[in-house]
A and B are shown apart, each in its own frame.
Chain A
Amino acid sequence: MEEPPVREEEEEEGDGNDLGPEGALGKSPSQLTTEDVYDISYVMGRELMALGSDPRVTQLQFKIVRVLEMLETLVSEGSLEAEELRLERDSLRKEVQALRNRGPVATS
């Protein structure tokens, strides 16, 4: 039989090396990586499993899967999008700067 309680032990262990599975929940949302999301799912999965196999628990479990899938997408795509926008902004800024520097020369 699966014995979730036995696994409780390494829950504290998890805090050891670079924060481990538990540490992800202590992070700032903006610093989350997809690896953190996977760690969170493992930790939550274990806790849900410890509640037994009540169908209501399983239903909740799959809703949590969905929520975490959404979080995963937001974390990976959100940072990509922000990075793209940042690059775009920086290049526009540079262009403005270049035009400003050249400005007076053009009018005279």
Chain B
Amino acid sequence: VNIPRKEKDFQGMLEYKKEDEQKLVKNLILELKPRGVAVNLIPGLPAYILFMCVRHADYLNDDQKVRSLLTSTINSIKKVLKKRGDDFETVSFWLSNTCRFLHCLKQYSGEEGFMKHNTSRQNEHCLTNFDLAEYRQVLSDLAIQIYQQLVRVLESILQPMIVSGMLEHETIQGMSGVKATGLRKRTSSIADEGAYTLDSILQQLNSFHSVMCQHGMDPELIKQVVKQMFYIVGAVTLNNLLLRKDMCSWSKGMQIRYNVSQLEEWLRDKNLMNSGAKETLEPLIQAAQLLQVKKKTDEDAEAICSMCNSLTTAQIVKVLFLYTPVNEFEERVSVSFIRTIQVRLRDRKDSPQLLMDAKHTFPVTFPFNPSSLALETIQIPASLGLGFISRV
């Protein structure tokens, strides 16, 4: 007969022997897969476990153990990112967990400003002996570094898709007029196979977004990543428009506006309309509109000048120069019209910049995001291989 044992009341700490520290960071950081049963079911689990280890060392008043654990933690995360830093999943996983660890150090710091959302039980779990504010600074710097690495990885994945998917691939059938004969269509569709389309870009965005959600990344941080992705798409597309004559036509403008509307639809779907991502596409949207509006009279010139407030004069003039009529009903933009625009924009003190800086990274912030998780209820799943640490 199994006599039910009374569940011991745990305090939400984890104890390990000093000599096991290397084994701890090896199993919990260095060799932990970013995808697995335990970390998928409880996003941020490695961060919570690490923090519970810190709590016990703090409880023992063992400053040497605290320092050693925090140093090993930071070094191990750096080591993982050095080894697998080109893998989006790994980088996203450690960005999420580094942030969660940082949130824990704040939430349980004992500083009142961070305790507003705590339950009374959570308040009992605050550190008592050590002030780890300096370590929080180090971790925050580490998180910034990981974020920049994440941006580089997603940039290298998106980059080759953008021109093909946003500009070259034709989403709207028969738009380019002249080439619409049956035979031509067929060959172009064969040529399209293997080339990236707008759908490839949307699928890639989906996969980035779902990985970050699965890692329990802070919603505020996901918004910043998405804004950065949209900026890259917008900047690379616009730069190519400004460099290629064959991209500046009425039908390309139509094409771009359709593609942008699909990207906006994606944001709406994911509830990310307030991420600032849409706004980063504004210069591209205006360039696409510029391709479509009338470009003849003084009124047209005035309308263009008031519409294109996110484009520099250099960019507006360049688009007008490159503009290529698609059919006999349209005309080239006259030199005098471009001159009129230049005169009108003379007082505008904007930069002489033509190309956008596609490598620009918006500064990232990590707003405090406390968790309602109760540390005393956390158990150590067997699959983590941490049998040598015990709950206290």
Contacts and interface: CB of A to CB of B under 8 A. Distances in A.
Contacts of A38: 35-37, 40
A49 to B, nearest CB: 8
A66 to B, nearest CB: 7
A69 B381 contact: yes
Interface in A4-56: 6-7, 9-10, 13-14, 16-17, 20-21, 35, 37-39, 41-42, 44-45, 48, 52-53, 55
Contact of B43 (A21, A45, A64): A45
A65 B42 contact: yes
B38 A42 contact: no
A66 B38 CA distance: 9
A39 B40 CA distance: 8
A1 interface: yes
A17 B200 CA distance: 11
B37 A68 contact: yes
B353 interface: no
Interface string B137-170: 0000000000000000000000000000000000
Contacts of B369: 1-2
B319 to A, nearest CB: 36
Interface stretch (B205-213, B237-245, B333-341): B205-213
User: Is chain A's interface secondary structure helix, strand, loop, or mixed overall?
Assistant: helix
Contacts of A17: 203, 206-207
Given A1-B117, A53-B372, A53-B373, A62 B379 contact: yes
Contacts of A1: 117, 369-372
Interface in B28-78: 35-38, 40-43
B272 to A, nearest CB: 10
B210 A20 contact: yes
Interface residues of B, number: 34
Instruction: Name, among A2, A10, A20, the residue most crowded by chain B CB atoms within 10 Å (CB to CB).
Output: A2
A61 B270 contact: no
B206 A41 contact: no
Given A13-B206, A65-B38, A65-B42, A6 B372 contact: no
A59 interface: yes
A17 B195 CA distance: 19
Contacts of A13: 206, 210, 269-270
B219 A6 contact: yes
A9 B36 CA distance: 23
Nearest to B209: A10
Contacts of B373: 2, 53
Nearest to B45: A65
B206 A55 contact: no
A10 B270 contact: yes
Contacts of B36: 38, 72
B154 to A, nearest CB: 17
Given A41-B40, A65-B379, 16 more contacts: A1-B369, A1-B371, A9-B271, A10-B210, A13-B210, A13-B270, A17-B207, A35-B35, A37-B37, A41-B38, A45-B42, A48-B41, A52-B372, A61-B41, A62-B381, A69-B383
Interface of B: 35-38, 40-43, 117, 203, 206-207, 209-210, 213-214, 216, 219, 269-271, 369-374, 376-379, 381-383
The 10 closest A-B pairs by CB, nearest first: A58-B377, A45-B41, A41-B40, A41-B41, A62-B379, A42-B40, A68-B37, A65-B381, A69-B383, A53-B372
